[in-house]
Amino acid sequence: MSVTHPAGFRASGVVAGLKSTGARDLALVVNDGPRHDAAAVFTSNRAKANPVLWSEQAVRDGRIDAVVLNSGGANCFTGAFGFQTTHSTAEAVAAALGVAAGDVLVCSTGLIGVGDQSFRDAILDNVPAAATALSPEGGAEAALAIMTTDSKPKEAVVSSSAGWSIGGMAKGAGMLAPGLATMLVVITTDAAVPAEALDRALRASTRVTFDRVDSDGCMSTNDTVALLASGASGVEADEAEFTAALTALCLDLARQLQRDAEGASHDIAIEVVNAASEDDAVVVGRAVSRSNLLKTAIFGNDPNWGRVLAALGTTDAVFDPYRIDVSMNGVMVCREGEPGEPRELVDLAPRETSILIDLKSGDASATIYTNDLTHDYVHENSAYAS
Amino acid sequence: MSVTHPAGFRASGVVAGLKSTGARDLALVVNDGPRHDAAAVFTSNRAKANPVLWSEQAVRDGRIDAVVLNSGGANCFTGAFGFQTTHSTAEAVAAALGVAAGDVLVCSTGLIGVGDQSFRDAILDNVPAAATALSPEGGAEAALAIMTTDSKPKEAVVSSSAGWSIGGMAKGAGMLAPGLATMLVVITTDAAVPAEALDRALRASTRVTFDRVDSDGCMSTNDTVALLASGASGVEADEAEFTAALTALCLDLARQLQRDAEGASHDIAIEVVNAASEDDAVVVGRAVSRSNLLKTAIFGNDPNWGRVLAALGTTDAVFDPYRIDVSMNGVMVCREGEPGEPRELVDLAPRETSILIDLKSGDASATIYTNDLTHDYVHENSAYAS
């Protein structure tokens, strides 16, 4: 049920005709209160889609009543007409629900440059049906309606013994390297949490979860993570406990995104330890995660550790390249910058792959989640416009 | 004849047994003078191979008498033993030629982590044979001996009406995204040019040629470009004319590297115009060249311009993303940040592919040379350790 698991939320997912397959492509998530606190983070790409430009303003006052999401078109680089489409979508949702348009978040995903009259008509004509279909059990249908190249919907729920819960849904399989935010994610909670605390918790959680997925190095124009709190549990959540639960939920969804990344056959966790700072650990992990040579080697089950060292040598993080240890799936193939255990000992057959990099420069650490680069990735992204 | 085209040079390429195929894998290029001016630039990767660490010191005094190059092993991350191998190699060449070891450049290419006793023996045992095989017609064999995954040798010659010429050879097909230098390249000239002028000319030339090839975003640990001047023509070259000729030769070799990049089916020139600065143009071009999503789209002959805009939006260059024009093979598919001509008009069937990005923010420009991302790239880099 994901986003409708916490009390105070209804959702729906209907067919608006944006997807050529005829699958669900328009989703609605509504917070029935009693509270309407909200926070959201967005892509740090300067090329922002029209719904991102709208939603950044809508969430500014810390109140959101509904989120409307479509797949089948990103409404990005579609000019003033595209922005007007986003605005009209918010107004249509507001009219159907009896709320203010300025309290409606809009999210779009699909091909950049798609956002013409037929796109607008499909959405506006079907908002009333989406509103009619709203249900406290509608979370699963909403999660289906936001999928693009995803092979399965992504949902997660975390419950607190204090009496509140958090639910979330996400989509994303390509252009998966979030900056300050990521993909399309809607998270709901029935805890009572003021908007400013929601914002702090959301930024703290996304920084160590979605921000550390770097599947294909390509940052989206439409990334949005929205968090809505209804307060319907009647319980005021402890901020530290809430942040920890939210982080667990975000990590769950982030790993689901990683596992369903386009064409991937390995889920690679790059753990950088003993870094001089957390920033250094992230920089090193991200550089390694973006090496196409390493990613193709992993696809071929080849523990080519030289490609790890070649990648981290391009960063300005603090370390001595000739003192570094690198382990792959538990085997230290590079010790002190020289060949260590025989590479033949590394078994890369399992999908879960671990690369451990010991910088020996401090006590900070970070893990970046990436995937291998496969024939299926090339096929999916060359054969289909998406 | 490449490196042996200018007067005053001999070269050879022999079989040392480093390549399992039994192909030539040890090359020697000797400057017989009368002058021995030299300059070299190296990878800016902090993970530098042992031969790079050696050669950086050897060229410091502006004199080089010989360059010895091997394929079949990078001698990188092979520790003190590997550095000693490089040192011994220079001494063996010096003994065979009657020159000083400190005037011998050493270059290695192949798998990182390879540089054990058998690697050392193969080289040291065969340096005498390489010296014996030296010939004023040996350029072609030397160019063969430095190949790794290259499908063909890369050679170029430029001649000046003033009576001097420049010859060059290069190798490189993967890990092809040079920082301050690139790949293995040896350039010779019989012009009389002092070492300081050679250094200026080489840095000016590589900055706008090799440095602007970004085939797969992966910077090598062994990149070296060496330039040797014999003065054997007896002509002192005008520095500006020499730099222009050298730049033409470097661009020729750089394009040959691009055309032979691993698995590539499109050679893509990303031309960024009307940038606020040349640095901005390079940053934007490089970001676009590293988008796996764009590179797979081009492989699929899909003019997916949204992926161009998503990539450049991740940079901090000066521009308004909603004013940018993007043309592909002459068709302006994005005008002022909105859909322009129909994408169906773009013909991406030819191997030569042009992407023109107009930032409308100044009058600087730069072109980055890259390739598409194909099934063959994935195959080559997953099925073989290299």
Do both B285 and B143 map to the same domain? no
- Which tokens go with A345? 């000992």
Q: Which residues between 265 and 284 in chain A have a beta carbon less than 8 angstroms from any beta carbon of chain B? A: none
Per-residue pLDDT reduced to its tens digit, B342-357: 999 999 999 999 999 9
Do both B103 and B207 map to the same domain? yes
Do both B54 and B83 map to the same domain? yes
Q: What percent of chain B lies above the pLDDT cut of 70?
A: 96
At B386 the pLDDT is 53
- B296 in contact with A at a CB cutoff of 8 Å? yes
Do both A225 and A251 map to the same domain? yes
Lowest mean pLDDT among A29-33, A123-127, A148-152, B362-366: A148-152
> Residue A83's pLDDT band (boundaries 50, 70, 90)?
very high
Q: Closest Cα partner for A27 from A50, A2, A52? A: A2
- B175 in contact with A at a CB cutoff of 8 Å? yes
At A180 the pLDDT is 42
H/E element, B229? strand B224-229
Whether B261 has a pLDDT exceeding 70, the answer reads yes
H/E element, B185? strand B184-189
Q: Give Cβ neighbours of residue B52 (< 8 Å, ≥ 6 apart).
A: B42, B43, B221, B222, B223, B224
**Identity of the highest mean pLDDT range in A22-36, A219-233, A252-266:** A22-36
Reduce the secondary structure of A141-187 to three states and give it as a string: HHHHHCCCCCCCCEEEEEECCCCCEEEEEEECCCCECCCCCCCEEEE
Do both B118 and B239 map to the same domain? yes
Straight-line distance from the first to the last Cα atom of chain A, in angstroms, rounded to the nearest whole number: 28
Average pLDDT of span A202-210: 81
Tell me if A372 sits within 8 A of A296, measured CB to CB: yes
Lowest mean pLDDT among A372-386, B59-73, B212-226: B212-226
Please judge whether B382 and A78 are an interchain contact, meaning their C-beta atoms are less than 8 angstroms apart: no
Q: How many helices (H) and strands (E) would you count in chain A?
A: 10, 15
Whether B238 has a pLDDT exceeding 70, the answer reads yes
Taking CB atoms and an 8 Å cutoff, what residues of chain A touch B312?
47
Taking CB atoms and an 8 Å cutoff, what residues of chain B touch A322?
77, 79
At A181 the pLDDT is 41
Average pLDDT of span A279-284: 93
- A289 in contact with B at a CB cutoff of 8 Å? no
Taking CB atoms and an 8 Å cutoff, what residues of chain A touch B219?
310, 313-314
- A346 in contact with B at a CB cutoff of 8 Å? no
Please judge whether A310 and B379 are an interchain contact, meaning their C-beta atoms are less than 8 angstroms apart: no
At A96 the pLDDT is 97
Please judge whether A47 and B309 are an interchain contact, meaning their C-beta atoms are less than 8 angstroms apart: yes
Tell me if B150 sits within 8 A of B171, measured CB to CB: yes
Give me the active site residues of B, please: 182
Average pLDDT of span A27-42: 91
CATH number of the domain enclosing B181:
3.60.70.12
- Which tokens go with B98? 């009657």
Tell me if A115 sits within 8 A of A83, measured CB to CB: no
Taking CB atoms and an 8 Å cutoff, what residues of chain B touch A74?
306
Taking CB atoms and an 8 Å cutoff, what residues of chain A touch B321?
46-48, 77
Query: Reduced to 3 states, what is the DSSP secondary structure of residue B357?
Result: strand
Beta strands A325-328; A331-335: pairing state: antiparallel
Q: What is the DSSP string of A234-301?
A: --BPPHHHHHHHHHHHHHHHHHHHHHT-TT-S-EEEEEEEEESSHHHHHHHHHHHHT-HHHHHHHHTT
Lowest mean pLDDT among A369-383, B202-216, B299-313, B328-342: B202-216
**B337–chain A nearest CA distance, Å:** 5
Mutation target among B378, B384, B386 for the A interface, most CBs of A within 10 A: B378
> Residue A177's pLDDT band (boundaries 50, 70, 90)?
low
Tell me how many domains chain A contains: 2
Tell me if B280 sits within 8 A of B364, measured CB to CB: yes
Taking CB atoms and an 8 Å cutoff, what residues of chain B touch A361?
none
At B176 the pLDDT is 65
Taking CB atoms and an 8 Å cutoff, what residues of chain B touch A45?
310, 313-314
Q: Closest Cα partner for B290 from B218, B342, B358? A: B218
Tell me if A194 sits within 8 A of A30, measured CB to CB: no
Whether A364 has a pLDDT exceeding 80, the answer reads yes
Q: Closest Cα partner for B184 from B287, B43, B306, B35? A: B43
Lowest mean pLDDT among A35-39, A365-369, B147-151: B147-151
Q: What is the mean pLDDT of chain A?
A: 89
Please judge whether A48 and B339 are an interchain contact, meaning their C-beta atoms are less than 8 angstroms apart: no
Per-residue pLDDT reduced to its tens digit, B139-191: 999 999 999 888 889 898 988 888 899 998 888 776 666 554 446 788 889 88
Tell me if B15 sits within 8 A of B26, measured CB to CB: yes
- A176 in contact with B at a CB cutoff of 8 Å? no
Per-residue pLDDT reduced to its tens digit, B109-143: 888 888 899 999 999 999 999 999 999 999 999 99
Please judge whether B46 and A314 are an interchain contact, meaning their C-beta atoms are less than 8 angstroms apart: yes
Please judge whether A322 and B379 are an interchain contact, meaning their C-beta atoms are less than 8 angstroms apart: no
- Which of B74, B218, B375 minimises the CB distance to A375? B375
Taking CB atoms and an 8 Å cutoff, what residues of chain B touch A78?
338-339
Q: Give Cβ neighbours of residue B240 (< 8 Å, ≥ 6 apart).
A: none
- Choose one of B243, B259, B275: the last residue of a domain: B259
Please judge whether A378 and B296 are an interchain contact, meaning their C-beta atoms are less than 8 angstroms apart: yes
Residue of A nearest to B314 (CA): A45
Do both A50 and A199 map to the same domain? yes
| DSSP class of A109 | B
At B178 the pLDDT is 57
Q: Give Cβ neighbours of residue A378 (< 8 Å, ≥ 6 apart).
A: A263, B296, B299, B373, B374, B375, B377, B378
d(CA A332, CA A309): 13
Q: How many CA within 13 A on the CB side of residue A154?
A: 30
Average pLDDT of span A176-198: 75
Do both B222 and B238 map to the same domain? yes
Average pLDDT of span A313-328: 92
At A2 the pLDDT is 86
Do both A340 and A369 map to the same domain? yes
Whether A281 has a pLDDT exceeding 70, the answer reads yes
At B270 the pLDDT is 95
User: Is there a binding annotation on residue B148?
Assistant: yes
Do both B228 and B294 map to the same domain? no
Residues across chain A? 386
Per-residue pLDDT reduced to its tens digit, B9-28: 999 999 999 999 999 999 99
Tell me if B135 sits within 8 A of B11, measured CB to CB: yes
Mutation target among B314, B326, B341, B371 for the A interface, most CBs of A within 10 A: B314
At B146 the pLDDT is 92
Please judge whether A309 and B47 are an interchain contact, meaning their C-beta atoms are less than 8 angstroms apart: yes
d(CA B381, CA A322): 25
Task: Rounding to the nearest 10 degrees, give the CA dihedral for residues A221, A208, A234, A94.
Answer: 0
d(CA A125, CA A89): 10
d(CA B51, CA B40): 13
Per-residue pLDDT reduced to its tens digit, B269-307: 999 999 999 999 999 998 999 899 899 999 999 998 988
> Residue A119's pLDDT band (boundaries 50, 70, 90)?
very high
d(CA A350, CA A267): 9
Do both B18 and B110 map to the same domain? yes
Q: What percent of chain B lies above the pLDDT cut of 90?
A: 53
CATH number of the domain enclosing A308:
3.10.20.340
- B320 in contact with A at a CB cutoff of 8 Å? no
* b/e code B16-28 from CB counts within 10 Å (16+ = b): bbbbeeeebbbbb
User: Is there a binding annotation on residue A262?
Assistant: yes
Beta strands A66-70; A104-108: pairing state: parallel
Mutation target among B325, B372, B381 for the A interface, most CBs of A within 10 A: B381
User: Is there a binding annotation on residue B206?
Assistant: no
Do both A272 and A253 map to the same domain? no
> Residue B262's pLDDT band (boundaries 50, 70, 90)?
confident
d(CA A273, CA A277): 10
Phi, psi angles (nearest 5°) of residue B373: -110, 115
Residues across chain B? 386
- Choose one of A206, A233, A259: the last residue of a domain: A259
Whether A386 has a pLDDT exceeding 70, the answer reads no
* b/e code B49-66 from CB counts within 10 Å (16+ = b): bbbbbbbeebbeeebbbb
Residue of B nearest to A386 (CA): B304
Q: How many CA within 13 A on the CB side of residue A271?
A: 11
- Choose one of B237, B259, B281: the last residue of a domain: B259
Task: Rounding to the nearest 10 degrees, give the CA dihedral for residues A281, A285, A286, A287.
Answer: 110
Do both B303 and B369 map to the same domain? yes
Residue of A nearest to B333 (CA): A113
**A246–chain B nearest CA distance, Å:** 27
> Domain span at residue A355?
267-383
Tell me if B138 sits within 8 A of B11, measured CB to CB: yes
Query: Reduced to 3 states, what is the DSSP secondary structure of residue A92?
Result: helix
Average pLDDT of span A35-51: 86
